[in-house]
Copies of this chain bind each other. A is one copy, B any other.
Amino acid sequence: MHKYKNISDPVIRRLPRYYRFLGELLDKGVERISSRELSDKMGFTASQIRQDLNCFGGFGQQGYGYCVKSLYNEIAHILGLDHSYKAILIGAGNLGRAVATHMSFEKRGFKLIGIFDNDKNKIGQTIRDIQVSDLDNLEQFCTENKTDVAIFCVPKTATPEIAERLHKLGIKNYWNFSHYDLAVHYDDIIVENVHLNDSLMTLCYKISDANDKPEDEQ
């Protein structure tokens, strides 16, 4: 049960960064750190960091700073990383293969238990010690293996039909790499989107905008 409620979305989105940085400090044997030092390393202002971490109670001590290990563990608990949510990945193409092999699911609160595709050439292949299953077996697999999360690495056009099948199975947590906006179509789901095309277009805007500015504005 979480001790903390009503944490704002921007704070939540900063938590993984705090967690990563504190993890690095732990690896280096750092036991405590001031908000100013954290600020220098993370690019947030010291007051921002104090505000954020105050959401979770009094980790900081005047003149002492933060105990790295307890703050690290607390943020891990807040993020729910001590869970092991069972995840399946849909789509064993380049992107799905990269996500499956690249991510440390176990360290992020998840366990990858299945990979699915409808391509006969991919079915049976082994990715990260998991054999790619036929998408036709999705219902049977998810019924036999209580599945919490689905990861969409399929083209946008393939997403609606698969989402409908998963939703019927009661699987309502999605990590969505497809450009199909699931949240528009279902109001009872949890979805985290990774829209690479949107990210690339945002970069294009930033570059164009900077180049369009006169020198004295740059």
Tell yes or no: A80 within 8 A of B by CB.
yes
Q: Shortest distance in angstroms between A19's beta carbon and chain B's nearest beta carbon?
A: 7
Task: Find out whether the CB atom of B83 lies under 8 angstroms from the CB atom of A208.
Answer: yes
Task: Find out whether the CB atom of A205 lies under 8 angstroms from the CB atom of B43.
Answer: no
Task: Find out whether the CB atom of B204 lies under 8 angstroms from the CB atom of A199.
Answer: no
Of A66-74, A103-111, A116-124, the segment with at least 4 beta carbons within 8 Å of chain B is: A103-111
Tell yes or no: A26 within 8 A of B by CB.
no
Cross-interface CB contact of A80 among B149, B183, B208, cutoff 8 Å? B208
Task: Find out whether the CB atom of B149 lies under 8 angstroms from the CB atom of A196.
Answer: no
- Given contact pairs A41-B184, A194-B196, A210-B190, A204 touches B83 in the complex (Cβ within 8 A): yes
Cross-interface CB contact of A197 among B97, B103, B206, B212, cutoff 8 Å? B103
Task: Find out whether the CB atom of B108 lies under 8 angstroms from the CB atom of A201.
Answer: yes
Copies in the complex: 2
B residues less than 8 Å from A190 (CB atoms)? 203, 206-207, 210
What would be 28 A-B contacts, judged by CB atoms less than 8 Å apart?
A2-B208, A16-B201, A17-B195, A17-B198, A41-B184, A42-B181, A42-B184, A43-B183, A78-B205, A79-B204, A79-B205, A80-B208, A83-B204, A83-B208, A85-B207, A94-B97, A94-B98, A94-B101, A95-B98, A99-B196, A103-B196, A103-B197, A108-B197, A110-B200, A110-B204, A148-B207, A194-B196, A194-B199
